[in-house]
Amino acid sequence: MQAAIQAGALGYLLKAAPPEELLSAIRSVYQGTLSLPREIAQVFTQPAHAAPGFEHLTQHAQVVLHLLADGLSNQQIAQSLSICNTTVRAHISSILAKLNVTNRTQVALLARERFGPPAPD
């Protein structure tokens, strides 16, 4: 995803994006405007040094972390990113190890410190 944007791509959508989001992204890209889902855009705009350990997370793990901080369940994260539950659990296990925390609540609190409260729908 990052390589595509660095190579000049102006848009990226998650597989589960609703049709209206697809149309909006097409219009934005046609006008030369970058179009990214909020979850992805926040990963790119957060400073890497915002919280210790976050710079060691892959971008996929950071997206999972952001969704976890928004209060989504593993199932909801999997559906949002069009990945399987096993992959979500693997990302969360990796996040726990890299941030040296023992449970989902601790990781969510760290993520909230970095990302702030979830944006209103």
* CA gap 107, 98 in Å, rounded: 10
Q: What is the pLDDT of residue 49?
A: 45
* CA gap 14, 16 in Å, rounded: 5
Q: Which regions in the chain score pLDDT beneath 70?
A: 1-3, 5-6, 42-53, 115-121
Q: What is the pLDDT of residue 1?
A: 66
Q: What is the pLDDT of residue 26?
A: 92
Amino acid in the structure at residue 79: Q
Long-range contacts of 93-101 (CB under 8 A, 24+ apart): 94/57, 94/58, 94/61, 95/57, 95/61, 95/64, 95/65, 95/68, 98/53, 98/56, 98/57, 98/61, 99/53, 99/54, 100/53
Q: What is the pLDDT of residue 99?
A: 85
Choose among 17, 101, 14: nearest CA to 57: 101
- Is the pTM above the cut of 0.85? no
Q: What is the pLDDT of residue 11?
A: 84
